[in-house]
Structure 1
Amino acid sequence: MTVIQVAAGLIHREGRYLIARRRPGVHLGGFWEFPGGKREPGETLEECLQRELFEELNVRIDIPIPYQIVRHAYPEKIVELHFFHCTIETGEASPIECTELRWVFPEELSQFRFPPADEVILDALRRDAGGSLP
C-alpha cells in the first residue's frame, strides 16, 4: 500500500489553533483537521505546507517548526502526517478549500470530530497546553 505524505500546520495565535472543516464528498468529509495537504514530488515538507496553506487559506506562514510525525493506516491508504508549528506572517485565513475555519483553545479540541490519525496530536496539544507555545 502506498504511503501518502502530508504536511499539516499547527497554526497558532494567542493560545488558539486554527482548524478547518473538510468539504463533504472528500475522504473524511465533514471532519475537522489541521490545515495542510499532500506533498508533491520534489517538494520538501516545509515547502508543501507553505504552498498548501497559501492555496487553501490564502496565508503566508513563517518557517514551519517540526512537531510530530504520525503514521496511520486507513483501510484504503496509509498516511504519514508531518505536523509543524507555525504562525501566519501575511494574510487572514479564508476557507478557500474547506467549508469552515475556527480558532480554538487546546482544551476545546475535544468538542470537534477529527480523523482517527489526529488523535495522537490532539492528546499532545492538550497535554502541552499548560506550557508555552513555540
Structure 2
Amino acid sequence: MLKVTCAIIIKDQKILICKRSSKMHNGSKWEFPGGKVKDGEDLETCIVREIREELNIRVTPKQQLPSFTSGSTIELVPFICPGYDGQIALREHAAFTFCALVDLNNYDLTAPDKLLYNYMMKNPELLG
C-alpha cells in the first residue's frame, strides 16, 4: 500500500484545496495537497517537503488525523497545518482555492480526499 501525506492548510477559517492537472492520475479532480512518503522518511518531514515542492510554501504540521484508505492502493495520512509562510506558486496543480468546510462538497474530490472530507464534516472542531 502506498503511503501518502496531505495537508489541511487553514487560512482565515478556509481550507486550501488544489486541482490536479489533467496530466496527473485523477486529473482535474480536487485534493488536499501532499504526496508520497519516501523510503525512510517520517510523515511530518514528508508533508513539509511535499508542500514546499508542490506549492512553494512552508507549513508546520500541528496535528495528525486518522489515516484513510481507498481501495487497497493508498493510505492517506492527513495533517492539520494552520497557516503557511510564503506565497503559493503552483508547480504541479492546475489551480487552487480556499473554501469553507461546508463548501468542499461542491468540488469533485479524489476518493481518499472524500473520505477525509466526510471525517472533517463529522468533526469540525478539529479545524479550530
TM-score, shorter chain, exceeding 0.5: yes
| C-alpha distance in structure 1 between counterparts of 2:44 and 2:100, whole Å | 24
Match of 1:29 in 2: 27
Moved more, 53-62 or 118-127: 118-127
Residue 133 in structure 1 maps to residue 127 in structure 2: yes
| TM-score when normalising by structure 1 | 0.88
1:41-60 matches, within 5 Å, as 41-60=39-58
* Matches for 1:88-99 after TM superposition, within 5 Å: 88-99=83-94
Deviating beyond 2 angstroms after TM superposition, the runs of 4 or more aligned structure 1 residues are 126-129, 131-134
Q: CA RMSD in A?
A: 1.5
| Structure 2 CA distance for aligned equivalents of residues 114 and 29 of structure 1 | 11
- In structure 2, stretches of 5+ residues that fail to align are none
- Whole-Å Cα distance in 1 between the matches of residues 44 and 106 of structure 2? 29
1:81 maps to 2:79: no
Task: State percent identity of aligned pairs.
Answer: 27
Which of 13, 37, 40 aligns to 2:38? It is 40
Point out the more displaced range, 11-20 or 58-67.
Answer: 58-67
User: Number of matched residues?
Assistant: 128
Report the CA distance between 1:132 and its aligned residue: 6.0
For structure 1, list consecutive stretches of 5 or more residues without a partner in the other structure: none
Distance 1:103 1:62 in 2: 18
Residue type at the aligned position of 1:52: E
1:94 and 1:57 mapped to 2: Cα distance?
Answer: 5
